[in-house]
Amino acid sequence: MNKISNKVIILIVMVFLIASVSFIGAAGMLLSSDMRVVVDTAMSPAINQGDIVIINKNPDTIVEGDVVIYDATWYPQPVIARVVSIKNDSNGNPLYEMKADKNPDPYPGWVPLKEISKVVYVFPEIGHINLMIRGL
C-alpha cells in the first residue's frame, strides 16, 4: 500500500508541475510577451531567485518604480532592476536609470525605452526546476 501511495503522490506532483509550466507558457503567449527565470537575488524580496517573470518586450511607457529587464553594457546577461529615475535626452526621448532593490546605488548609465522590457507578472518559485537543470 505504501509503495502505491508514493507512486500516486509522485504522479500528482508531476501532473501539477506540467500543468503549471503549461499555464505559464499560455499566459506568456496570451500577453505577447516572454518569460525569464530569475537567477540572482538582487531584487529580493520583491522578486526572488527561482521566480519566473513574464515580460512585455515593447512597453508603451515605463514609470518610476516599474521593474524591468534590459541588456546592460556592463554585464553579459540581462539585468532585472527597478526604474529609479527618468530624464529626457537632448531630443526629448526618455532615458531610465535602474537599481536593484538590494543595491544602495543605481546601475551605471541611462537606458532608452527601446532597450527595456517591462516585468508584468511574477510566478513565484516555479523556476527552481529550471535552475536545478541548468546547475545554477
Whether residue 65 has pLDDT greater than 80: yes
Here the cell at position 34 is 516572454
Whether residue 123 has pLDDT greater than 80: yes
In DSSP notation, 3-36 reads HHHHHHHHHHHHHHHHHHHHHHHHHHHHTT-EEE
In angstroms, rounded to a whole number, what is the distance separating the alpha carbons of residues 103 and 97? 13
- Which structural domains are found in the chain, ordered by start? 33-134 (2.10.109.10)
Task: Categorize the per-residue pLDDT at 111 as very low, low, confident or very high, splitting at 50, 70 and 90.
Answer: very high
Q: What is the pTM of this model?
A: 0.70
Whether residue 6 has pLDDT greater than 60: yes
Task: Categorize the per-residue pLDDT at 95 as very low, low, confident or very high, splitting at 50, 70 and 90.
Answer: very high
What is the mean predicted confidence (pLDDT) over 29-47? 78
Whether residue 112 has pLDDT greater than 90: yes
Whether residue 56 has pLDDT greater than 90: yes
**Inter-residue contact 107 to 79 (CB < 8 Å):** yes
pLDDT score at 37: 82
Between 67 and 25, the higher pLDDT residue: 67
